[in-house]
Amino acid sequence: MSEDSIFRIASKSKAVTSVAVMILYEEGRFLLHDPVSKYLPAFANSVVAEPAPAGSPAGVTYVTVPARRPIQIRDLLTHTAGLTYGNGLAVERYKAAGLHGWYLADKNETIADCINRLATLPLHGHPGEAWQYGYGTDVLGYLVEVVSGQTLDRFIAERICAPLGMTDTSFFLPLDKVNRLAPVYGFEDGKLTLREPTEKSDYVHGPRKCFSGGAGLLSTARDYGRFLQMLLNGGQLDGVRVLSPKTVELMTANPTGTLFRTDTNAHCLGFRMN
């Protein structure tokens, strides 16, 4: 391990993508209460999986009903859109669609392809009514692409990484940095085991096509530290402003009330605050 080791930062990607969303929000490109379907029409007729009523035919475990209201952009930021990572009553539909679990780096398709397919599947909760961790930030990543006219990797590189000097943050690894990628270890039968060596990593050898705003970024401790310091500073670092102090204040307030809250933390616009 070295100071410039590059890691798969998984769900830490969500904060970066959420900042990208809020950059566009500051520019007046949308309102947080706008329905997502205004920009992503595939979500225009969302339905929700609910338990099948008594007396349903054998094997029928759920029915679908229209969502009580459309998914709003703020629902995606707060994980209250009804989206999980596929788990729930309609889990088999998600598995059949190839959308079960957070890992998208191996997909030979764009995030647009994934999200438009996701929009055809039943939600696992009515928008705004429950906190459920899932694909919401990946939908936001596609929203950034549609609204900005840039791919998500390009937008983040130009609007966040370049201004903050985050030189080692990307969705897939440049080949000249391969020797700095930290391999992935896990425990099997109580022993530390190498799960993903660099030579088998999709972040190096995969299709390099699907930009997962929810869990797809690579970064270093230095880069991510600079990103967090920008937020702690109210949206600026080293004289470069990424967000206004008012927007950072909005992002770190608690908009979900008791849907997700403990005595010590709350889920805000894009990330959890302790």
CB atoms near residue 85 (< 10 Å): 20
Task: Give the Cα separation of 38 and 72 in Å (integer).
Answer: 9
pLDDT, tens digit, for every residue of 194-204? 999 888 899 99
Tokens of 148: 């900005």
pLDDT, tens digit, for every residue of 112-145? 999 999 999 999 999 999 999 999 999 999 999 9
Task: Give the Cα separation of 68 and 149 in Å (integer).
Answer: 31
Q: Does 19 have pLDDT greater than 80?
A: yes
Instruction: Give the single-character DSSP code of 36.
Output: G
Task: Give the Cα separation of 228 and 166 in Å (integer).
Answer: 11
| Phi and psi, residue 78, nearest 5° | -105, 5
Q: Residue 123's pLDDT is what?
A: 98
14 is catalytic: yes
Q: Which of 11, 37, 103, 244 is catalytic?
A: 11
pLDDT, tens digit, for every residue of 30-72? 999 999 999 999 999 999 999 999 888 988 999 999 999 999 9
Task: Give the Cα separation of 44 and 70 in Å (integer).
Answer: 7
Name the pTM for this structure: 0.94
201 is catalytic: no
CB atoms near residue 233 (< 10 Å): 14
The HSE-up count of residue 125 (CA atoms within 13 Å, CB side) is 21
Burial 14-40 (b: 16+ CB within 10 A, else e): bbbbbbbbbbbbeeeebebebbbbebb
CA torsion angle 202 206 211 212 (round to 10):
-30
pLDDT, tens digit, for every residue of 209-265? 999 999 999 999 999 999 999 999 999 999 999 999 999 999 988 766 666 555 555
Q: Which of 38, 133, 177, 244 is catalytic?
A: 133
Q: Residue 263's pLDDT is what?
A: 53
Task: Give the Cα separation of 12 and 82 in Å (integer).
Answer: 21
Q: Does 80 have pLDDT greater than 80?
A: yes
Handedness of CA 29, 30, 32, 35 (dihedral sign): negative
Residue 218 near residue 173 (C-beta atoms within 8 A): yes
200 is catalytic: no
Residue 184, burial from CB neighbour count under 10 angstroms (0-12, 13-18, 19+): middle
Task: Give the Cα separation of 5 and 10 in Å (integer).
Answer: 15
pLDDT, tens digit, for every residue of 95-111? 999 999 999 999 999 99
Instruction: Give the single-character DSSP code of 116.
Output: H
Distance, first Cα to last Cα, the chain: 29
| Phi and psi, residue 183, nearest 5° | -70, 160
Cα–Cα distances (Å) from 179 to 6, 60, 198, in that order, read: 9, 51, 8
Q: Which of 13, 14, 25, 46 is catalytic?
A: 14
